[in-house]
Chains A and B, each alone.
Chain A
């Protein structure tokens, strides 16, 4: 343990001194021409104490002194994973499915609300995964398609009174069109050039949503969107149908769950299809893929369209759930958040993305207790997570190997 500590104490103290130097000008220099040290040192010593505790726990853990506590935990998890591997995976999936089904019955509104957000973002994350994880194109304006989907349902419903189920394909369709419009001019670009152009498209869509008063009602947003309606058979006076509006969160949860499951299955099928293989080959080496006879142009456009469709569906559901849409929901920061979910979870890996979404939606909610400190903690958590798991929480298994990895 002492050995371990010797290894890191120098770096640690340099970092802490660096932090002190950073904090002092911000806290200790006052406009009235006085200098103070008290506040800086207080804040700094809190941070010092906090990080030191973390460091000590980390060192004790890595040197094996925490075995008394971790061993039973690790032992049981290992035992369970042993059982898990013995059991066929469908049992696991069934278990998960049952958990997901009974979840809203066991928890309160707030937890259900967070869960709905998680499910919608799973759909978004999987869609973006098609573009970024499978086809390897960095997209910083993905939320625009989500916005297009949401606004399509909102406008069709409020202006023309069309039902949710009728609008849903339109939401997907318009998002898909938007995807193709973005995709077409960007196909020649690669890497960071692509990133900035998609960012530009995302911003353009948001600005249009915010300014086209006659269509989108601008910053006021669209109010009075009908929730999802389903026809339920009623047995009382003979056999009739009655419209049932899904207003309760717990009921809505199941629709979001259905969408997320459909998205998971679809992306899994896509991934292992011919198309998915073509995308992966484009991601790994576009020139080589083209030489091998993959029509890169069509496949890249298809990737955009597919990704956009998922976002459009999620968007329609989002509008039905909020019953209100406004451009503030579709900012650049949201695009970045979805991208973070994909990268943090592990690009190309479905369980990874699910975990990434849970982490990034739930973390700010967990940190809600911290009030104004919550985004600060959130930012540092992101960095720490990346430092510990740079390939994502659950990295995708690669098919084959890259040439440089073989060296």
Chain B
């Protein structure tokens, strides 16, 4: 029983991580219907910039005196950095292709993804970079069950961001502009919505979320690596599609389901086939509900 509860907690944490990455994925998709393959790399870049600033503050000696302040600053700096990166990438690699076939942008996104992960490798070295490990280690112990502080932090951050994003998209002017741009760029331009600005903003928010996820993952696992964006990128993409791509709450749900299935698959059936279980659930759900759990019925979309 203890180990079941422990696995449940593991599953929620892993799901929270996937959801955190998937939120950014789904935001971008919702507005410009682009599978942004480079999202995983924004996530990795966020993790790297986070560790760079954290160790910089540690080197300056601020870390002991103001840990929370340093952490918050690193968070904000990494999010800002990734937003800055993403806006530039969008302008250079995606915007000129907006009118072309959707696969052209997809390919360009892949190129960016390869470029960024190798750029990280060349500038940051081929070895893992360790996070300062004193932060938020330890946790609560209930008998044999351990709940780390970081696990709580990850899940609560995901939940907070979920609420914040929903508020942003459905309750603010900017959100309204985003939804309008998503539906029809020409029409929204006619009612004086700068669709380019909105798209840039969406990219910035998406990448900022990815950066936050990157730091959380770095803190949780203790290190970052140049190729860390690839596998979680695919998983988060699956999660976003499972929940109904473009739907924020769906992404959260999809992330949780994939995380849970993986942990319970590995914990109770077989470790090596855990990804198979995750994908089978995905295929089964999409077979019965071809647009994902919370997705609306879409019209034909051409490749």
Q: Which residues of A pack against B, CB within 8 Å?
A: 15, 18, 21-23, 25-27, 29-34, 132, 136-138, 185-186, 188-193, 195-197, 199-201, 203-204, 207-208, 210-211, 283-287, 332, 336, 339-340, 343-344, 347, 372-373, 375-376, 378-383, 386-387, 390-391
Contact = CB atoms under 8 A, between A and B. Distances in A.
A33 B290 CA distance: 52
Contacts of B292: 193
Nearest to A28: B52
5 contacts: A21-B84, A189-B290, A193-B245, A207-B275, A343-B106
Given A29-B53, A197-B282, A343 B275 contact: no
B112 to A, nearest CB: 6
A200 B283 contact: yes
A386 B298 contact: no
**5 A-B pairs with the lowest CB-CB distances in the bound complex, closest first:** A33-B59, A382-B111, A379-B115, A379-B114, A200-B279
B56 A29 contact: yes
B55 interface: yes
Interface residues of B, number: 69
A193 B282 CA distance: 10
Q: Which secondary structure dominates chain B's binding surface?
A: helix
Contact of B276 (A204, A286, A339, A372): A204
A285 B300 contact: yes
Contact of A380 (B58, B115, B124, B300): B115
Contacts of B113: 379
A390 B101 contact: yes
B234 A18 contact: no
Nearest to B239: A196
B267 interface: no
Contact of A30 (B59, B275, B303): B59
Contacts of A137: 303
A138 B275 contact: no
Interface string B235-279: 001100100010000000000000000000000000011011001
A189 B286 contact: yes
Contacts, number: 180
Contacts of B115: 376, 379-380, 383
Nearest to A372: B122
B291 to A, nearest CB: 7
Contacts of A284: 302
A207 B103 CA distance: 27
B8 to A, nearest CB: 24
A138 B103 contact: yes
Nearest to B55: A31
Contacts of A190: 290, 298, 300-301
Instruction: Find the residue from A193, A199, A336, A378 having the highest chain B CB count within 10 A.
Output: A193
B110 interface: yes
Nearest to B237: A196
A305 B88 CA distance: 41
Nearest to B302: A136
Interface stretch (B89-97, B136-144, B194-202): B89-97
Contact of B108 (A15, A18, A33, A387): A387
B282 A200 contact: yes
A283 B302 contact: yes
Contact of B123 (A27, A199, A287, A375): A27
Contact of A382 (B103, B108, B300): B108
A195 B33 CA distance: 13
Given A33-B60, A382-B111, A343 B84 contact: no
